[in-house]
Structure 1
């Protein structure tokens, strides 16, 4: 039986501005802001809050966020906001409890929350509307209810036991004592009150009554927080985006602890080697898999959340060494861990300003804990991103941000004009799938919808603390075709065939055609997203 054809969806086109997200209500909120005269930052901030309600397993006030922005004057900068683990979270604290890895669920999994710090900084950097105005649509949804999507219902069913164990999560997601049906409305009265408070004072998450409530709950549950690290998690990392050439374009990515450098390293390794006309063929997939393995091996061996050793990996000599022998399959390399749960948005406004924004709770519903009375679901980034490996650069340590999966990117031409902006959820799959998107767009001239539709593949396992050392696999959507899968196996890869659309992710891309003067957007059919233009 032949594989299903691509979904009958073409790229969305616009002459002025465009938004794209992984839920229709999120895209609609951003489009409304643009139509009312807001800019790309305004739209991003409005969309972020709607994501908390429509994709609640993926993101929230208690998560982290990163973004890369291209300004109308050509400047490209990045912001990152991810929290610290507890000040008392030294390795011996966990080992004394018989742990070889930090738990993925519960209070010990939690790191400080960065999303609100990122939003506050973005707002100060260029928003034209107040947060209260931008978050009004999210507050209306919280009060009147959000129809439960198939994805959210699936998330709830998968994690029902954990949700029942936390009063706040159960109130939000099991309001009738059971998983909601698709279309059944979920309301968020406690979270609505929190959003109103933070609209007036975003710093209130990091100091004052709300911060004290969060820290008190974590300490009561056994996590060794002092409160000072929670406040410090309200600081952001901001500066020029890191950049590297790919073909005729310059790719700009998010700053560490984001793995944006891994996308750039793969781009440098793959540059000029992915132009075979039979794409996606055995050689091209092998090159991309090899570059990903190389990047994850380097990340595991050298990089932690507070090291800048990634810089040397982008030096010409290091790239040349990586390109040599790339097609020799190395099944000892670390690769991708869990897919993760994340959501993202991309906006380009009429002035040419672009914001590629991504936020996450780490894994579905984060640590499965809330701050009582607030509706805030806490992330589990510490459990996912910090190791208990003695002497490792990513060994858990106070005031060391754990390794992160979130990354976003934009690409500009030789004149500094915006050409593409994109991102994708999907844990450590992100840096791999973003590289695949770049090749589709740059090497093969696919439009954004074709690029996000294309067959996807992923190396496994790797940098998540709980899966390091598991057997290597190259996980491929079956749409790559039997000859390619067989050829990869014959080349030495341990191939695992997935369903035709089952690799994961939710890729989003907006591209600009400067010759004809239009924007094109693509939203991944693996999720429920849509690209909308004005």
Structure 2
């Protein structure tokens, strides 16, 4: 990535950003947010308080960051059932105390019989977004098992015991989960397993009502003893039989093949003189690196969240989505060419005018759900983990008798376009929206670690977080609370032909929004906190060594230190 960079103050210790409205009043987004949580022994952050508490307890009891992340992931499955689960996917980055960074990926294939002709013979022009034909083999358990084997100090039975107990006794239904269930009640009602848990009495639960998941508790006990059971055991047999009976052409062989996680080094790029680590394919981590390279040395010289800065970042995002749609597949390395100096130079030159790109793409859907966790311990081990069912409650079907809700990643991430690199094919993983990141300095020391859910918003908001933290010295609380903007559409598979627009939270201010329109953007104004996402960031104060952390105020999350 670009080596052009002016010298700047330390991104953690420089003074807070101040920017005043023309009237002299401080706009809402400039009011100082609640400061970051500060700790020295370790820190966790998640989108649900019970998840953060589970991780903090592990750290306080002497576990490491990997232990904490594994406990938190299982608790997410219970407290955030629309966003993630055993039947979904997961990806993680781990920084070890020696400075090495390793990626763990868990995502699966569609059915072995799922050729393009299979879907076309049924009169389909796209893979369905719900039901059995939308499902890919879930990879989350394989990823967590590999993560556990590589760095945990405690057994999965111990780490998942709190989640099992929470599933048995039930956890209070949040407003978010109640709304998710209400929105999808008709689809959930068609599946007996989902209806029994999420529609007690035939209706969505009230906020605070306990949602017990006894079948899922039993499944977690089983998987804690033998994670491979989901891929080559009785659980796999149940899943394959149920899907095949419902018309999805799974053979069972694709499940066995997905029992091993995708493990290897992170992919890296440079931003602001630091190294950004990202998750490799099938994730869009390369898109964050490309956007960062297209913005490096530019955003730092522009006023924070000015129209010109937003326009440049939006142009970089649109470029990345256009490249993803044109070139990318999970089993192809052409994305690497997009990060070469020659390719980046061409795209930087094209963005120099700051106008919106004239590209057409496949848009992102209006829905989708994911959640994530971050954990850092006193030894320097750090984990950024993100997991999802794709859409809310995934395919909205369960494996009978297990409590496992299945994902709809195949329907969301694979194309039914003749000859496209990402055309659906047996043993080809669909492209993903999930990605995780961390930042180190030239000595390999951790500087920042984070992530955010949000479909195709992820790669955009993660790039924005990097700029807030590195270019402008924002602390984690200010970074996660900053006004958000999103290029829409992205490159998901489900809808074609929508016009390009720039969705902006109103806190950017009327003057900035008007200026963006003047620069040629089709601006759609959202509510002050309505962009979506649930960003999590933990940073290291370089002078004191203290951990600074924060969770996005747009959702229910908290950061906790020990």
TM-score (norm 2): 0.93
Q: CA deviation at 1:468?
A: 3.2
CA deviation digits over 1:379-421, x for unaligned, max 9? 0000000001000000000000001000000000111100000
User: Deviation digits for residues 457-482 of structure 1, max 9, x if unmatched?
Assistant: 00111311112331111000000111
Residue 392 of structure 2, aligned match among 356, 364, 376: 364
- Alignment partner of 1:393 out of 418, 421, 438: 421
Aligned pairs (5 A) from 1:349-498: 349-498=377-526
1:125 aligns with 2:125: no
Q: Deviations over 1:177-200 (max 9, x none)?
A: 211111110000000000000000
Instruction: Tell me what 1:226 maps to.
Output: 251
> Structure 1's 18 and 167: CA in aligned 2 closer, same or farther, altered over 3 A?
same
Q: Which deviations, in whole Å up to 9, do the C-alpha atoms of 1:133-179 show, x marking residues without a partner?
A: 00111011111110000100010011000110000111111122211
The answer for the alignment partner of 2:312 in structure 1 is 287
71, 91, 113: which one pairs with 2:138? 113
Q: Which runs of 5+ in 2 are unaligned?
A: 1-24
SS at match of 1:135: helix
Q: CA deviation at 1:9?
A: 2.4
- State whether residues 292 and 335 of structure 1, in contact with CA within 8 Å, keep that contact through their aligned partners in structure 2: no
Aligned to 1:134: 159
Within the alignment, does 1:511 sit opposite 2:552 as a pair? no
Q: Does the 8 A contact of 2:363 with 2:496 survive in 1?
A: no
Structure 2: distance between partners of 1:126 and 1:247: 30
Contact 1:461 1:467 in 2 (8 A): no
Q: Which of 279, 296, 301 is matched with 1:271 structurally?
A: 296
Counterpart check, 1:79 vs 2:104:
yes
- Name the SS of the counterpart of 2:547 in structure 1: strand
Which residue in the other structure is 2:557 paired with?
529
Give SS of 1:216's match. helix
Aligned to 1:341: 369
User: Secondary structure at 1:275's aligned position in 2?
Assistant: helix
Structure 1 Cα separation of the partners of residues 458 and 256 of structure 2: 29
1:472–1:119 CA distance, 2 compared to 1 (3 A): same
1:328 paired residue number: 355
Q: Name the residue aligned to 1:93.
A: 118
Question: How many equivalent residue pairs?
Answer: 534
Q: Distance in 1 between matches of 2:437 and 2:454?
A: 15
CA deviations over 1:215-260 (Å, ceiling 9, x no partner): 0000000001111011112221111100011012100000100100
**d(CA) in 2 for partners of 1:498 and 1:39?**
40
Counterpart Cα distance in 2 of 1:533 and 1:335:
41
Cα distance in 2 for partners of 1:466, 1:194 equals 32
Offset of residue 97 of structure 1: 1.0
| Aligned partner of residue 176 in structure 1, secondary structure | helix
Secondary structure of the corresponding residue to residue 206 of structure 1: helix
Aligned counterparts of 1:275 and 1:350: Cα–Cα separation in 2: 31
After the TM superposition, list the runs of 4 or more consecutive aligned residues in structure 1 that deviate by more than 3 angstroms.
1-8
Once residues 116 and 102 of structure 1 are traced to their aligned partners in structure 2, the CA distance between those partners, rounded to angstroms, is 25
CA distance, structure 2, for counterparts of residue 514 and residue 267 of structure 1: 23
Does residue 208 of structure 2 align to residue 183 of structure 1? yes
- SS in structure 2 opposite 1:410? strand
Q: Is the 8 A contact 1:386 1:402 kept in 2?
A: yes
Matches within 5 A, 1:31-50: 31-50=56-75
Which has the higher mean CA deviation after the structures are superposed, 116-125 or 276-285? 276-285
Q: Secondary structure at the match of 1:325?
A: helix
Deviates more, 1:308-317 or 1:269-278: 269-278
State the partner residue of 1:195.
220
Which deviates more, 325-334 or 210-219? 325-334
Matches within 5 A, 1:153-168: 153-168=178-193
The answer for the alignment partner of 1:255 in structure 2 is 280
Q: Distance in 1 between matches of 2:368 and 2:312?
A: 25
Per-residue displacement from partner, 1:467-524 (whole Å, max 9, x unpaired)?
A: 2331111000000111111111111111000000000000000000121220100100
SS at match of 1:497: strand
Q: Which residue is 2:48 aligned to? A: 23
Alpha-carbon distance in 2 for matches of 1:462, 1:251? 22
Q: CA deviation at 1:276?
A: 4.0
Deviations, residues 335-359 of structure 1 (Å, cap 9, x unaligned): 7613520000001101001100000
Alignment of 1:289-304 (within 5 A): 289-304=314-329
Task: Assess if the C-alpha contact under 8 Å between 2:435 and 2:451 holds in 1.
Answer: yes
- Listed as ranges, the gaps of 5+ residues in structure 1 are none
SS of alignment partner, residue 538 of structure 2? strand
Structure 2 CA distance for partners of 1:364 and 1:145, relative to 1, 3 Å: same
CA distance in 2, matches of 1:176, 1:185: 13
SS at match of 1:202: coil
